Each structure stands twice: as structure tokens, then as C-alpha cells.
Structure 1
Amino acid sequence: MEKKIFVVRKADIKDSKAIYEITKQVFKIYFKNAQIPRTIDALKETYKDIENDIKTKEVFVALDGNTIIGSVRIKVNPDKTAYLSRFGVKSNYQNSGIGKILMSAVDDDMISLGVTNIYLHTSSRMFSLIRFYYGRGFFIDSTSKDRGYIRALLCKEYKSKSLDNSCTNTVNNSI
């Protein structure tokens, strides 16, 4: 049996189309499975939005050969917290370890940037996602219904020399 090798690298503007396609595919499924009552921002974004994120955020892509099969975006804030969004892996590659590989790249990058806490939102109905994030060191900080469904705010703490690196409700809910 041939062993697969996947590569993760920082995204480039030329990756926008592939990131767009992955985002649409993954978030259509998420939207349906989470039973979200109204459309979500991920399904409304444009190529220009993705290009802007590549320029202003930490954006990673996972590749199988030359084919982009997953992506994730992270906004690093001045206070050394970060917010993870648009995490997705093509459906035919899910449950093959790509998500873990992407998240490991995120962890390495966040640690190198001195980030103390990283946050994300996901639907609390999505048990598979909650379980995945718990397995990567996240925990539920809080929940809200501000978007018409129960969203869980998850947090992961990175070890730092700071005495106060605990997750708190300091995330801007407008994210």
C-alpha cells in the first residue's frame, strides 16, 4: 500500500479559486447538517474576500500533490489572541488526517507568533466537529444564539510566560 504524503503551506493569491471551491462545498454541508435557519457568511464570500484574507490573515492550505484539499484562516489580534475561521477539508478527504495536519500547522504558527489563545465558533449540533476540536485541545468557553442557532465558542490555550493566558469571553461577537 502506497503511503500518502500531504503538504501544508501558507496560501498564495493564486490559491483563491481552490479555497473558494472548498469553502462553498464544505459550508453547504455544514449549513445543512447544523440546521442553520439563515444563510451564513462563508456561503456569501467572493474571490475578493478570500484574496483579502490571504493578504491580512494567516491562511494555510493542505495539498495532495498539486491539488488543494483543505484550508483554514486565522486572524491574529494585537492582544496575541487569534480567531480561526473557514476551516474545511474537501469531503472526499475528510477523516483521513488532513484536518489534524492543518490544525498542527496552525498550532506551530500560533506558538511561533506568541499567540496565547485561539478561538473559533461552530454549531453545537455538530458533534463530530466538537469532538474533533476537543481532540485538538479546544474546549467550549460559551454558547450563544446570536445567529439564530446555538453556536459554541471554543478556545484553546497555548502555554506562554504570561500569567493570564486563560480563555475568557474577550472575543468580539461580531466576528
Structure 2
Amino acid sequence: MTHTNIRPFALTDSEAVITVWKACGLVVPWNDPHKDIARKMKVNPELFLVAIADGRVVGTVMGGYEGHRGWINYLAVSPNYQGRGIGRALMDNIEAKLLALGCPKINLQVRSSNRAIIQFYGHIGYHIDDVISLGKRLIPDG
């Protein structure tokens, strides 16, 4: 594993975080990443973590908890740093923070075409639930 420091996100990390998200294909036209960061900073900002290696942001994860379920969003590791245990370290950190809040279960959504990340989550104990994910946009970003 590459030596990394995992710490809370700081606003000065914004552009580096978005660069990681873009490199990982997480930025989509219907979500403005700057607005996603601003929204996260209003709700559980302590559950937004970054991984630092070689002096720069190389990984991210956003966690959330509303009292019933925890959620994971924007788990990403720069392609040049993947396979070094950084994603696992980010998940271990965010799971520990959610558990400390009393969170009984974590949910996350993955695009069904992203086989590699589905396999990654399977290796760290996540299972495909027999559910259908529905969504409704209340505030358009574009």
C-alpha cells in the first residue's frame, strides 16, 4: 500500500478532488461537481474525506448518515494510484466514522456497467441488495 494520509476535505482541495472525479469518470453532465461539494459541506462535512499521497489529493469518499442508513458517494482513487489499498483505506475510515455515529447499515449506488468497482466492493464485504434504485431530481444543476 502507498503511504497515504486520510484527512477531512478542505475547501482548498476542491479542484484537486474534481480532477480525481473526472479521471475516474464520476463527473456527469447532470451533476455539477462544484455544487455537489458545496451541498456536502452543508450536511455531514466531517464525512467527506480525502487521501493524500505524494503531496496531493489522490482519493476521495463522501459519507452520509440521516439516522437510518449510511451512504457512500464519490469513492474515487486516481487511476495511477489504484490497486495500492487507498480505496480500501478510505472505506475503512468512512465505515469507522459511520459506525461511531451508530449507523447500522451502509448503502451505495454503482453504475451497473462498472464491473471493476462492483468487484472491489464485493471484496470488502458489500453485497448486491435485491432492490431497485429510484431517483428524482429536485434541483437541476445544468
Q: Considering the TM-score relative to the shorter chain, is it more than 0.5?
A: yes
The answer to which structure has the higher strand fraction is: 1
Normalising TM by the smaller chain, what interval?
A: 0.7 to 0.9
1:12 to 10, 13, 23: 10
Structure with the bigger RCO (C-alpha within 8 Å, sep 6+) is 2
Q: How does 1:28-67 map to 2 (within 5 A)?
A: 39=28, 41=30, 44-57=31-44, 58-67=47-56
Please provide the CA RMSD for this pair: 2.2
- How far apart in 2 are the matches of 1:40 and 1:132? 25
Which residue of the other structure, out of 94, 119, 122, is the alignment partner of 1:134? Answer: 122
Equivalent residues of 2:2, 2:86 under 8 A apart: no
TM superposition score normalised by structure 2: 0.82
Q: Does 1:92 align with 2:80?
A: yes
Task: Specify the code of the residue in structure 2 equivalent to 1:88.
Answer: A
- Secondary structure of the residue aligned to 1:122 is coil
The answer to whether the 8 A contact 1:74-1:83 is kept is yes
Residues in 1 aligned to 2:72 and 2:23: alpha-carbon distance in whole angstroms: 18
Give the Cα–Cα distance (whole angstroms) in 1 for the partners of residues 50 and 22 of structure 2: 15
The change in CA–CA distance for 1:55 and 1:13 in structure 2 (over 3 A counts) is: farther
Aligned structure 1 segments of 4 or more residues deviating by more than 3 angstroms:
none
Unaligned runs of 5+ in 1: 32-38, 145-152, 154-172
Given residue 55 of structure 2, which amino acid in structure 1 is its aligned partner?
A: N
Q: Which runs of 5+ in 2 are unaligned?
A: 137-142
The Cα shift of 1:126 comes to: 2.4
Distance 1:113 1:93, change over 3 A: same
Bigger radius of gyration, 1 or 2?
Answer: 1
